[in-house]
Amino acid sequence: DGGITQSPKYLFRKEGQNVTLSCEQNLNHDAMYWYRQDPGQGLRLIYYSQIVNDFQKGDIAEGYSVSREKKESFPLTVTSAQKNPTAFYLCASSIDGRRGDEQFFGPGTRLTVL
């Protein structure tokens, strides 16, 4: 079964702690993305990667970091520098991000900072 997985589904963190959200896909897609969704707002792009070992900042990259060492994995670290990290985080992938291909989304991780 091909798909995109995110873990954990729910995550709680104390202020000042870094936390890493996992995203794995077995669709053999080149492009991967991280979005943040807040109530009443659309999805906002944090980081994206169109190929292994390369990634670009999205619209709200401050306080976040990523890596793309393997094609199937694109973990997101929420650092203590992120001022308001409580949100619903969505990972997505697409065949080739430059052609407008549909994006396949994972189930999301809901992060709550206590």
Interface positions with other proteins (CB under 8 A): 33, 35, 40-45, 48, 58, 90, 92, 97-98, 100, 102-108, 110
**In 10 A of CB 114, how many CB atoms?**
8
The CA distance from 27 to 71, in Å, is 10
Strands 44-51 and 4-7: unpaired
**In 10 A of CB 108, how many CB atoms?**
17
Burial class, 95, CB count within 10 angstroms (exposed 0-12 / middle 13-18 / buried 19+): middle
For residue 42, the minimal CB distance to other proteins (Å) is: 4
Q: Which is nearer to other proteins, 31 or 78 (CB)?
A: 31
Q: Which is nearer to other proteins, 20 or 56 (CB)?
A: 56
Q: Which is nearer to other proteins, 63 or 108 (CB)?
A: 108
